[in-house]
């Protein structure tokens, strides 16, 4: 049995608590939240689980094998470095880190410690996305992937403080960067514009990014927090033999659908709808994707499966996401999406810093 600690008991902490608790091979033991009473209240719901006031005590507890990290992204680096030092496996929420240098450092520390680190891009495990991946095997060469993710989020919270959460592209778009990379391979060039509309926000609530891939394929990712008429992700994939359209939302399984369009016309395609008990209560539209992600992670740890690629994947998606911000900042397309953040160069700069901080 593997024991689990969770840092951060907001919405995602609650999602992690439920699915780690339901996994037959893990047991929820320790919780931390900045506001202690929130962790205490969540711990009361799970037998044998308790809250601690200092996150370091959760990570350093000898009985804990896995950490689920759901704190703001600027907290992740220090927390993951301590996990690596204590040889604890980590599932952490996106955005992976406050910045790409921190993300690279986390990946390096995870590799050196031999721990598994998975960044929570659970959309890879969504039934509709899995169906799209299956159909793409029959669709021939992929020419383009066009994503739109819009919702109405006018509030100003911790998420909209520079460095803590991210703008709409880090928060929502990073998932779509990850899915694009899953289908299209590595990114060659990124250009982007973003805008802040809401007073009081330090990060963008509109972003339109264009990604060019080594394969020659292109992806557009448009994200908007001002869409009063949408809570959904929509995607259109143009390929040699067919077009695949799909959509789903975070909140309602009924928003989901997928179509295959070839020369013979449009067909609505079936996908596997999970059993009701496997549908997430916080984000029902994500169906069983969090459960699948957590089961995948736990199985890899139990069976000794090498999933180091997952940590590298998290870093590369972060780098490609970061390039969109660089493009806006410099008002030009970014060609060296990964090259400018080479790990060996970073390693040298870390040694020079030598202060053990991020
Ligand atoms: N994978 C997905 O689809 C998905 C969906 C939603 C969110 N997320 C990600 O999950 C992470 C958490 O989001 P959430 O929706 O769970 O957020 P949330 O419900 O707003 O909870 C925020 C959590 O962060 C803590 N926090 C906020 N500001 C803090 C600060 N300055 N210092 C320390 N702790 C602070 C809060 O503690 P208090 O209780 O003390 O305020 C709370 O534990 C984010 O990175 C987000 O991008 C992922």
Q: Where are the domains of the chain?
A: 2-121+297-306+338-353, 123-287
CA of 171 to the centre of ligand 1 (A): 11
CA of 57 to the centre of ligand 1 (A): 20
Greater confidence, 158 or 259? 259
- Residue 9 Cα: closest atom of ligand 1: 43
Task: State mean pLDDT over 118-142.
Answer: 97
Q: Whose CA is nearest to atom 30 of ligand 1?
A: 72
Match domain 2-121+297-306+338-353 to its CATH number in 2.60.40.10, 3.40.50.300, 3.40.50.720, 2.160.10.10. Answer: 3.40.50.720
For the chain, what is the radius of gyration of the CA atoms? 20
Q: How does pLDDT run across 252-280, given as a tens digit for each residue?
A: 999 999 999 999 999 999 999 999 999 99
CA of 59 to the centre of ligand 1 (A): 18
| Residue 2 confidence (pLDDT) | 98
CA of 308 to the centre of ligand 1 (A): 25
- CA dihedral of residues 18, 19, 21, 27 (deg, nearest 10): -130
Strands of the sheet with 117-119, listed across from one edge: 50-51, 26-32, 2-7, 66-69, 89-92, 117-119
Task: Tell me if residue 353 falls in helix, strand or coil.
Answer: helix
Phi, psi angle pair for 231, to nearest 5°: -135, 20
30 close to 37: Cβ distance less than 8 angstroms = no
CA of 93 to the centre of ligand 1 (A): 9
Q: What is the mean pLDDT of the chain?
A: 92
- Residue 33 Cα: closest atom of ligand 1: 43
| Residue 339 confidence (pLDDT) | 62
- Residue 15 Cα: closest atom of ligand 1: 16
**Nearby residues of 306 by Cβ (< 8 Å), 6 or more positions away:** none
State CA 204 to chain mean position distance: 18
Q: How does pLDDT run across 293-313, given as a tens digit for each residue?
A: 999 999 999 999 888 788 888
CA of 27 to the centre of ligand 1 (A): 22
Quote the CA–CA distance of 26 and 41 in Å, as a whole number: 20
CA of 160 to the centre of ligand 1 (A): 12
Percent of the chain with pLDDT over 70: 94
Architecture of domain 123-287: 2-Layer Sandwich (3.30)
Burial readout 63-100 (b: 16 or more C-beta within 10 A, e: otherwise) = ebbbbbbbbbbbbbbbbbbbbbebebbbbbbbbbbbbb
CA of 70 to the centre of ligand 1 (A): 6
Best probe residue, ligand 1, of 9, 12, 40 (max atoms within 8 Å of C-beta): 12
Best probe residue, ligand 1, of 13, 33, 34 (max atoms within 8 Å of C-beta): 34
pLDDT tier for residue 349 given thresholds of 50, 70 and 90? very low
| Residue 336 confidence (pLDDT) | 80
**Ligand 1: residues within 6 Å at CB?**
8-13, 33-35, 38, 70-73, 75, 93-94, 120, 122, 158, 171
């Amino acid at each position: 049995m593997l024991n689990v600690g969770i840092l951060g008991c907001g919405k995602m902490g609650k999602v992690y608590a439920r699915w780690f608790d339901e996994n037959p091979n893990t047991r929820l033991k320790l919780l931390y939240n900045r506001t202690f009473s929130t962790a205490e209240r969540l711990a009361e719901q799970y037998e044998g689980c308790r809250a601690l006031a200092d996150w370091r005590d959760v990570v350093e507890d000898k009985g804990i094998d896995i950490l689920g990290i759901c704190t703001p992204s600027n907290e992740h680096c220090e927390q993951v470095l301590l996990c690596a030092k204590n040889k604890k496996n980590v599932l952490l929420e996106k955005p992976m880190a406050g910045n790409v240098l921190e993300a690279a450092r986390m990946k390096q520390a995870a590799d050196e410690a031999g721990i598994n680190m998975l960044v929570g891009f659970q959309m890879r495990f969504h039934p509709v996305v899995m169906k799209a991946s299956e159909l793409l095997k029959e669709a021939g060469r992929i020419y383009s992937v066009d994503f739109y993710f819009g919702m109405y989020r006018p509030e100003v919270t911790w998420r909209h403080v520079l460095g803590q959460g991210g703008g709409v592209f880090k928060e929502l778009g990073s998932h779509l960067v990850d899915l694009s990379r899953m289908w299209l391979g590595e990114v060659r060039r990124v250009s982007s514009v973003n805008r802040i509309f809401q007073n009081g926000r330090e990060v963008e609530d509109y972003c339109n990014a264009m990604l060019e891939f080594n394969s020659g394929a292109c992806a557009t990712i448009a994200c908007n927090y001002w869409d009063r008429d949408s809570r959904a992700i929509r995607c259109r994939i143009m390929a040699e033999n067919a077009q695949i359209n799909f959509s789903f939302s975070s909140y309602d399984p009924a928003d989901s659908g997928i179509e295959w369009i070839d020369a013979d016309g449009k067909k609505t395609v079936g996908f596997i709808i999970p059993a009701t008990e496997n549908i997430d209560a916080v984000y029902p539209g994500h169906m069983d994707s969090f459960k699948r992600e957590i089961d995948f992670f736990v199985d890899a740890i139990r069976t000794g499966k090498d999933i180091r690629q997952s940590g590298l994947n998290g870093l590369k998606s972060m780098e490609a996401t970061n390039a969109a911000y660089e493009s806006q900042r410099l008002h030009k397309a970014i060609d060296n999406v990964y090259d400018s953040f080479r790990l060996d160069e970073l390693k040298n700069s870390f040694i020079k810093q030598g202060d053990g901080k991020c």
